[in-house]
Structure 1
Amino acid sequence: MPFAISRCRFSVHRWLIAVGLVMLLGGGGASAQPLEPQERFWILWEHIEHSGQNCPDGASCETRRSYTSRLFEPLDKRGVYRLFGLLDLHAARRGQSAEHPEAPRICQHTDSEVLLGFDPERLRLSEKIDALAGLPGVHVNLRGLKAPEGFEGDFGGGLQAAFESRFKAAGIRLLTEEEMEQTPGQPKLNVYFSRTNPDTGCWYSVFASLSQTVLLTRDIRIKLVAGTWAMSAGYSADTPDATEYGSILRVADAFVRDYLKANASGG
């Protein structure tokens, strides 16, 4: 179902803040003395924009913040100190903290909300197949898969050709390993095949996972390779005639189906 975007509210707040007490250390040498702390005052204009559903406090509402700043250099700092004192006094009379709970955290340069302009934790959780939306291509290499007992022919090579044929028919670009490393997200489809073991009685199994690079919402400086799409297959009593080769091909069919659904017009 398409996710409707609607502009719910636009509000503007002005904040007067001080960014001060920056300790500047002197140069090297035994006689170097630390400089006095410096203070600078800024006028900060905060723009708050809501979009999505059930704004402003709904789970599907996205809040974006942007800031315009100007350096404020008063001739007499004593007036600014008095202003801060009055604001603190008014907050105390209202039973509130002097530091407003919604004050911009501009000093936390690594904070995800500061870097992005919105809080990523407030984004709605996506559907699993959304990880395939806009996928520029995918790298897959099945040539190294070992054939099951009794299979004659090029097991991995045949599967590779079949996957490539299905992907090309669906408009999915096949990436070389070098192209994959230069593609945003580095999308790679990994297919793992465990053969039937007559000695243990274990049936064959197939597991596939599309890996892409992702960032953590709590700290977008942390970048990981993670599975963003997956499926599994294997022997089933309901389909006793299914082959290992055919089960692995089901991975390609499932991937193509989800890719087309995620990238359908208006989806």
Structure 2
Amino acid sequence: MRCLRLTFLLWVCLTWAAIAQPQEHNNLWVMWERVVNGQRQSQFRSHLLLDVPPAEAQTFFNNLTPSAQTYGAANVRHETSPLCLSQPPPAELTSIDTTPLTLADKVATLGGLNGVFVDFRAVRGPRTFTGNFGETVHSFVVNQLQQAGIPLLTKEEIEATPGQPTLTLRYSVEVVGCKPWSISLGLTQLVVLTRDTSLMLNTTTWSGSARQSESDIEYGAMEALRDVVASFTEDYAKANSIIGGNAVTQIEPAN
């Protein structure tokens, strides 16, 4: 009987000891923030390790200490988690009231622009075009924008410009019996979705095009480019109340 009581007491003590034993959980979150060419938004990547055995967690953390001491601070203590990553709030919490707003036409989207970014040097044109089509149209457009008083932004400046307004150009080839060739000019900007302001899109806010004219066989790709660029500079002038320069009317015909 005495032996039975001792066994029972020993079982109770071991049970309480097991209950009282602290439960240790080790989670490691390694965050990498990368800023490239001074861009407005950082790039984030991370490794998340959950329930790592204590010895392995200690070894992993200690191995980072020399680098942390060299490039920053090591063993920094925090009362709460310094990471504030969470799921975005529901769309209804981030939407905006668009009731007092009206839809803007494409001219209005050009108002207040401090400049645009242009790089057409890689644009492909007609197979029969003599010379480098991309370089030719790039020089032509740059000249026209300068004459119209429209500031040209560098690649570094566009990264820091709200909306990142960028001109795009496309030459669509002719499909015999189906469609004529065409030149399309567009301005893309970063915009926010009204129903969920946590979503940002890169979309076309202004566009213009010109295509092959069956009534004018001399009307070529460069003449079409002249017309769509003139349309853009005129709309820019309207939106910003500036006096634009005159578009070049005498240019070399397309081959």
TM-score by length of 1: 0.52
Larger radius of gyration: 2
1:110 correspondence with 2:78: no
Q: Which has the higher strand share?
A: 1
The equivalent residue for 2:153 is 175
Secondary structure of 2:115's partner?
Answer: coil
The equivalent residue for 2:241 is 264
The equivalent residue for 2:216 is 239
1:120 correspondence with 2:98: yes
**1 CA distance for matches of 2:92 and 2:221?**
52
Equivalent pairs, count: 154
Q: Which amino acid aligns with 1:212?
A: Q
The equivalent residue for 2:107 is 129
Alignment of 1:207-246 (within 5 A): 207-246=184-223
Structure 1 residue 202, shift from structure 2 partner: 4.5
Q: Which runs of 5+ in 1 are unaligned?
A: 1-28, 31-107, 114-118
The equivalent residue for 1:165 is 143
**1 CA distance for matches of 2:211 and 2:235?**
20
Q: Which has the higher helix share?
A: 2
Q: Which amino acid aligns with 1:247?
A: A
**1 CA distance for matches of 2:188 and 2:198?**
19
8 Å CA contact retained: 2:94, 2:198 = no
**1 CA distance for matches of 2:101 and 2:199?**
18
RMSD: 2.4
**1 CA distance for matches of 2:109 and 2:216?**
30
Higher RCO structure (Cα 8 Å, ≥6 apart): 2
Deviation by residue 1:204-258 (Cα, 9 ceiling, x = unmatched)? 1122221101112222222111110011211122333210122122221111010
Q: Following TM superposition, where does structure 1 have runs of at least 4 consecutive aligned residues deviating by more than 4 angstroms?
A: none
Using the aligned pairs only, state the percent identity. 35
Deviation by residue 1:27-61 (Cα, 9 ceiling, x = unmatched)? xx99xxxxxxxxxxxxxxxxxxxxxxxxxxxxxxx
**2 CA distance for matches of 1:221 and 1:147?**
38
Q: Which runs of 5+ in 2 are unaligned?
A: 1-21, 24-90, 243-255
216-225 or 164-173: bigger deviation: 216-225
